[in-house]
Structure 1
Amino acid sequence: MKKMLLFFSLLGVLFVASGCLNEGDAQKITVQKRTGEENIFEDFKEVTQKKQVEEAIDIVKNANWENVKVEMARYADYQFQFPAKNSDGSEDKIASYLLWISPNGENLEMVTDSDKYVTLTKQDSAALYEILTGETLMK
């Protein structure tokens, strides 16, 4: 009887330990919001819900990026980062993006540190903005 109790106790510990290890694999998006008129950002939100993270990554990866260096008229409204995965599933580096709300308030514009630029469609802009901020994109 004591051996059975010991066996199930060890089995329970193994399940708990493996669950804790899997939590470290979860991707998250870290969002910072610009404060004031300067180029200073403060932590705003972390997106940890797997479905939202995957949707945001899909929007960003499937956007029609242009290889062009742009200079925006003002500082970015937000910046966000998430771990980028290699084709083999391992994490390579942190992907970082600067994000602007367009003057018409209907689209998001993004720039990467590797001189890529994109203006998202209205639909993708609304979806990504809601994921990153929890708010509806104003029109």
Structure 2
Amino acid sequence: MKKIILFFSLLAILLVTSGCLNEMVGQKIIVQKRTGEENIFEEFREVDQKKQVEKAIDIVKNANWENEKVEMARYADYQLQFPFKNSSENKIASYLLWVSPNGENLEIVTDSDRYVKLTKQDSATLYKILTGEEIIK
């Protein structure tokens, strides 16, 4: 009887563990950087460390988004693709990102006419996650 209980306990642990591993697969941010003066992006970096991906998603998700269409004076500096969970669906959300002229803030625009200018602290954290470098000050 003890062997049966042990067997089912181990089976349950394996099922729970495999479910958690499946949830982590594919959680990455693809960062593309603009090359030259044209609106052409090339792959720059992939962020796949779970804590960094979660922190970046939290910053973007909790930002004070405005529902308005904006036209920027220049092409975006970076293009980002985030994993996005909407109930049971996995989608990819794309964002265009600019470093502000003063080099202290990040501005993000979505294709669904949403805009945000991040705080200095959130900008510095997100930039470090996405590029591996400190934001220009």
Report the residue type matching 1:131 in the other structure. I
Gaps of at least 5 residues in structure 2 are 1-10
Corresponding residue of 1:112? 110
| Deviation of 1:23 (Å) | 7.5
Partner residue of 2:129 out of 128, 131, 138: 131
Corresponding residue of 1:3? none
Deviations 1:77-100 (A, max 9, x none): 0010012101x3x33421000000
Corresponding residue of 2:64? 64
Cα RMSD after superposing both structures: 2.0
Gaps of at least 5 residues in structure 1 are 1-10
| Greater alpha carbon shift after TM alignment, 115-124 vs 92-101 | 92-101
**Native 8 Å contact 2:24 2:50 kept in 1:** no
Report the residue type matching 1:32 in the other structure. Q
**Native 8 Å contact 1:106 1:138 kept in 2:** yes
How is 1:2-81 mapped onto 2 (pairs within 5 angstroms)? Answer: 18=18, 22=22, 25-81=25-81
Distance of aligned partners of 1:24 and 1:59 in 2 relative to their CA distance in 1, 3 Å threshold: closer
SS at match of 2:71: coil
TM-score, length basis structure 2: 0.82
Kindly, what percent of the aligned residue pairs are identical?
A: 81
Report the residue type matching 1:33 in the other structure. K
Aligned residues: 122
**Native 8 Å contact 1:107 1:125 kept in 2:** yes
Distance 1:34 1:135 in 2: 16
SS at match of 1:67: coil
How is 1:96-107 mapped onto 2 (pairs within 5 angstroms)? Answer: 96-107=94-105
**Native 8 Å contact 1:26 1:50 kept in 2:** no
**Runs (4+) off by over 3 Å:** none
Distance of aligned partners of 1:75 and 1:123 in 2 relative to their CA distance in 1, 3 Å threshold: same
Report the residue type matching 2:65 in the other structure. W
**Native 8 Å contact 1:83 1:91 kept in 2:** no
| Deviation of 1:25 (Å) | 2.8
